[in-house]
Amino acid sequence: MIGQIVVRCILAVSLCLFLGCNDENLRLLETSDPPPRDGSSDAEDPPAPDDAGDDDDEDGGGGPYDDGDPEDDVVDDDDDTSDDDGLEEEPPPLKLNECPEGAVATFAPDEIYVLSWQDQWAEGTLSTDAEGWYHVYDFSVAESGDSQWNETVSFRVTNATNPTGAPYWENCDGEWWVEDADNDGSPPPGAVLYIGTFWLDSGDNSLQMNHYCPVYRDGNCTSFHRDEVPESTCDSGNVNSAHFLGEGICLVEAHLPGAPPEGA
C-alpha cells in the first residue's frame, strides 16, 4: 500500500514537470488506478466453450448400453444439464393417440402372435428405409379385454448392426415388457402403444415377439403378473394370446447416441 502511494506521488511530480499542473492532468492521474498485483482483471471471463467430452453413454442404468465405467458417469460439469446435448434420457410416451408423420415401415406377414404356453418367439420382417434408433409403436397387442389379463410380451429387432436385437431401454432382465393394456378398457381407436426402442438397419430387420408367461413361470420379472382373475393367470390354462399387427406399426425417430456397441 505504501509503495503504491510513493509511485503515485512520483507520477504526479513527473506529470506536473512535463505537462504542467493543471486541473485536467491531475484529474486524469486520480482516475488511473494501477492494475492488481495478481494480474487479475475486473473484466468478465469469456464463457467456457461446451465440453468436447460430453458423456453420452447410458450412465448407471445397468442396461446393455451402459459402458460400465463409473468414472465418466458425470453430467453436472461446468456447462452440462441433463439434456445439454439434446439426447433422450428416458423412454418416450407409452401411448400416442396417432402415429406422427415420419419414417415408414412395412411388416410381413400381416400378423404374428404368441400364447401363454408357447415358449418360443414369433417372428416377422420389418422393412424400412430408415436407419438408426427408433421408438417402435403398434396397435395394442392385447385384444381380449378382461377375459385375458396377462397378454404381456417383449420384442427384439435383430439386424447386422444389432445382432442380439436388444432394446435400448429395459424394464426387466434386459427386455422391455409391454404390459397388457386392455384389462381396464381398450385404448382409443387409432392409438398406438410403445413396444420398445430399437436400432434399425435400412432394409430388412427381423422383429421377434416373446410371451411373458414362460418368463414368469421361470420365476423372473414377477411384478408384471396379474392375478386379479384366477382363470387368466400365467399358471392357468388361459392362452392369454397377444397379437402384433403389421398395419399398425409406427416409427418415431429417437435422439440417442451412436450405434449399439458390438455384442450388445
Give the DSSP per-residue string, 31-72: T-PPPPTT---SSPPPPPPPPTT---S-TTS-STT--S-GGG
Residues 107 and 15 in one domain: no
Residues 136 and 242 in one domain: yes
What is the domain extent for residue 234? 89-253
66 inside domain: no
Residues 101 and 195 in one domain: yes
Residues 96 and 224 in one domain: yes
Q: Can you list the residues of the chain whose pLDDT is less than 70?
A: 1-85, 262-264
> What is the structure's pLDDT at 187?
84
58 inside domain: no
pLDDT in tens, 184-223: 778 888 899 999 999 999 999 999 999 999 999 999 999 9
> What is the structure's pLDDT at 183?
81
Residues 94 and 32 in one domain: no
261 inside domain: no
Q: What is the CATH number of the domain that holds 100?
A: 2.60.120
Residues 216 and 143 in one domain: yes
260 inside domain: no
Please give the model's pTM, rounded to 2 decimal places: 0.68
Residues 18 and 96 in one domain: no
Residues 239 and 129 in one domain: yes
Residues 32 and 156 in one domain: no
121 inside domain: yes
73 inside domain: no
> What is the structure's pLDDT at 32?
47
* Dihedral of alpha carbons 39, 44, 49, 53, sign: positive
Residues 30 and 93 in one domain: no
Residues 125 and 230 in one domain: yes
32 inside domain: yes
Domains held by the chain: number: 2
> What is the structure's pLDDT at 85?
67
140 inside domain: yes
> What is the structure's pLDDT at 22?
54
> What is the structure's pLDDT at 23?
53
Residues 117 and 248 in one domain: yes
